[in-house]
Amino acid sequence: MSDPDKKLDLRRSELFDFHGVSMIHYVTDNWENIQNFQARPDDILIATYPKAGTTWVSYILDLLHFGQTSPERQTSIPIFKRVPFLEIYIPSMDTGVDLANNLPTSPRLIKTHYPVQFVPKSFWEQNCRIVYMARNAKDSVVSYFHFDHMNMLEPDPGDWSSYLHRFKEGKMVFGSWYDHVNGWWKKKQTYSNLHYMFFEDMVEDTGREIEKLCRFLGLSPSVEEKKQITSGVQFDKMKKNNMTNYSTVPVMDFKMSPFMRKGKVGDWKNHFTVAQSEEFDEGYKKKMKDPTLQFRTVV
Ligand code: A3P
């Protein structure tokens, strides 16, 4: 359990190479316990590269599973406690593994940002359902840049142009965006219990994407319930909702940026110069060789 008397020692971290992926110690220090995590067959893993809309899909899954049966959790338990972040290990706070092990719900909803090769093997052995949400690279790097300013555990982001350079090199927490989205996409070809979805599709038509999620999860909520969920998870509502906007997290500095920042497709145009965009596109073409994996940067 966390110790409320112990003051949080918040420090920006340094990137280091961990089994070939750039990481920070807050997500590797508990490695043994994470790798030994015992998944259950009905666990649902929500996997994303950071800033792909993890909180959005977590909230939707929580509402789909527990919105009717335990409405009180919607006003009393922040989403990051309902859907623990498996690999997080911050001294004097509950670890992600402990939070996941202590979840009273069935199914348990668990979040990870790990690249596919780091996922504890019990998830595969138990054939757990996995929802992977991906977001286009340009909006991901912009969102990550703002997040790294406001999250005091992340490495110092520096200025935009050096940050963009680091992103292209894969020197981000959780490594290369390119490797992440491709690694998970490849896994989908051999592991059928994986639903791969896109942030851009969610923005375009949230209701349609919730329908697909329900089919994947084997759920059949009423038309009324689906309508309620679709409207309750819109950006403005989640931004105002203290249970989903992260306003209760001590490691985040909201003076720098809100967690629920813009929620748009195409905000990259307000950050990339024309030259940066062209250069980015050149590198992108070289790294994204699989024609079956396509992202949209506008909707
Ligand atoms: P922006 O920084 O572009 O606004 P994650 O939960 O993976 O950290 O992702 C956070 C990003 O998802 C943020 O992007 C946030 O605003 C966006 N997001 C969260 N909920 C959303 C919603 N309901 N609609 C649109 N975007 C949402």
Is there an atom of ligand 1 within 6 Å of 267 CB?
yes
Over residues 124-163, the pLDDT tens digits come to 999 999 999 999 999 999 999 999 999 999 999 999 999 9
User: Could you tell me the residue range of the domain that residue 100 belongs to?
Assistant: 16-287
Token pair for 242: 């203290």
Which of 33, 35, 27 is closest to 174 using CA atoms?
27
9 occurs within a structural domain: no
Hey, which of 55, 142, 146, 180 would you mutate to test ligand 1's pocket, going by the most ligand atoms within 8 Å of its Cβ? 55
CA 299 – CA 296 distance, rounded (Å): 7
| Cβ neighbours around 3 below 10 Å, total | 10
What is the reported pTM?
0.97
6 occurs within a structural domain: no
State the average pLDDT over residues 89-115: 96
Which of 46, 197, 206 is closest to 113 using CA atoms?
46
Q: Is the dihedral of CA 228, 51, 153, 160 positive or negative?
A: negative
**Ligand 1 atom with least separation from CA of 260:** 16
Q: In terms of residues, how long is the chain? A: 299
Is there an atom of ligand 1 within 6 Å of 241 CB?
no
298 occurs within a structural domain: no
**Ligand 1 atom with least separation from CA of 244:** 20
What integer pLDDT is reported at residue 7 of this predicted model?
58
Which of 8-17, 98-107, 199-208, 290-299 has the least mean pLDDT?
Answer: 8-17
- Band of residue 8 on the pLDDT scale cut at 50, 70, 90: low
Name the domain count of the chain.
Answer: 1
293 occurs within a structural domain: no
Over residues 40-83, the pLDDT tens digits come to 999 999 999 999 999 999 999 999 999 999 889 999 999 999 99
4 occurs within a structural domain: no
Hey, which of 138, 261, 267, 270 would you mutate to test ligand 1's pocket, going by the most ligand atoms within 8 Å of its Cβ? 261
In this predicted structure, the answer to whether residue 6 has a pLDDT above a threshold of 90 is no
What integer pLDDT is reported at residue 30 of this predicted model?
98
Is there an atom of ligand 1 within 6 Å of 57 CB?
no
Quick one: three-class SS letters along the chain?
CCCCCCCCCCCCCCCEEECCEEECHHHCCCHHHHHCCCCCCCCEEEEECCCCCHHHHHHHHHHHHHCCCCCCHHHHCCHHHHCCECCCCCCCCCCHHHHHHCCCCCCCEEEECCCHHHCCHHHHHCCCEEEEEECCHHHHHHHHHHHHHHECCCCCCCCHHHHHHHHHHCCCCCCCHHHHHHHHHHHHHHCCCEEEEEHHHHHHCHHHHHHHHHHHHCCCCCHHHHHHHHHHCCHHHHHHCCCCCCCCCCCECCCCCCCCCCCCCCHHHHCCCHHHHHHHHHHHHHHCCCCCCCCCCCC
Over residues 110-133, the pLDDT tens digits come to 999 999 999 999 999 999 999 999
- Report the chain's mean pLDDT, rounded to a whole number: 96
State the average pLDDT over residues 217-240: 97
Interval between CA 96 and ligand 1 midpoint (Å): 21
266 occurs within a structural domain: yes
CATH number at residue 82: 3.40.50.300
292 occurs within a structural domain: no
183 occurs within a structural domain: yes
